[in-house]
Amino acid sequence: MSSQASAPRGIDSPMVPRILRVMSQANVFVYRATGGRIGGKWRVGSAFPRGVPVCLVTTTGRRTGQPRTLPLLFLPDGDRVILVASQGGLPKNPLWYLNIKANPDVTVQVGKRERKMRARTASPQERAELWPKLVAMYADFDSYQARTEREIPVVICEPAPGGSS
């Protein structure tokens, strides 16, 4: 991994997380209100115009113990939901990833369906298998990886025992 590709200007501004938080909260509200009919596709960057699926993931805050819900791109894989902790290629992992490392029990909503799941970081072999599929779904993931020194984690969410809602 090298930071050969440069990040867009201003992406490291302290305002970016605030803007993203407000946009995410609005997306969660609309997604829940419409069962994912609105807010269920991401059509920005390489996802334009076809769109990439969005799910809602609820983690438990590692410091607060409070539920934290955010919209994330996902790759459906049988009963599993595959996530990418890319944070647009920023140098640090996203907070939601730190939360699942502390408490892997999550709720994933796809459309109207909510499921209790257990999240884990993909092994190196799993990541090597999943990464090309993720990039085929959303090519910008490769750009994000090129602009950061960290290896972007791939997260596998699997049904928790008794996890259907």
10-45 pLDDT, tens per residue?
556 667 667 777 888 988 999 999 999 988 888 777
Q: Where are the alpha helices (DSSP H) in the chain?
A: 15-34, 95-102, 124-137, 140-146
The most confident of the ranges 12-21, 84-93, 97-106 is 97-106
Domains and CATH numbers, the chain: 15-160 (2.30.110.10)
Neighbours of 165 (CB within 10 A): 10
pLDDT of amino acid 96:
96
**pLDDT higher than 50, residue 1:** no
How many Cα neighbours within 13 Å face the side chain of 97? 17
**pLDDT higher than 90, residue 78:** yes
Q: Distances in Å between the alpha carbon of 40 and those of 35, 65, 132? A: 8, 27, 22
Query: Do residues 56 and 32 touch, judged by C-beta distance below 8 A?
Result: yes
**pLDDT higher than 70, residue 164:** no
CA angle (115 as vertex; 118, 112 as ends), nearest 5: 145
Give the closest residue to 96 by CA, choosing from 124, 123, 67, 122: 67
83-88: average pLDDT:
92
Give the closest residue to 163 by CA, choosing from 118, 116, 108: 116
Give the closest residue to 57 by CA, choosing from 41, 68, 46, 43: 68
Pairing of strands 80-84, 75-77: antiparallel
110-158 pLDDT, tens per residue?
999 999 999 999 999 999 999 999 999 999 999 999 989 999 999 999 9
pLDDT of amino acid 44:
72
Q: Coil, strand or helix: which one is 151?
A: coil
Query: Do residues 138 and 46 touch, judged by C-beta distance below 8 A?
Result: yes
Q: Distances in Å between the alpha carbon of 162 and those of 30, 77, 115? A: 28, 19, 9
**pLDDT higher than 70, residue 72:** yes
Q: 163 falls in which pLDDT band (50, 70, 90)?
A: low
**pLDDT higher than 50, residue 3:** no
In this structure, what is the dihedral angle of CA atoms 114, 69, 31, 7, given to the nearest 10 degrees? -130
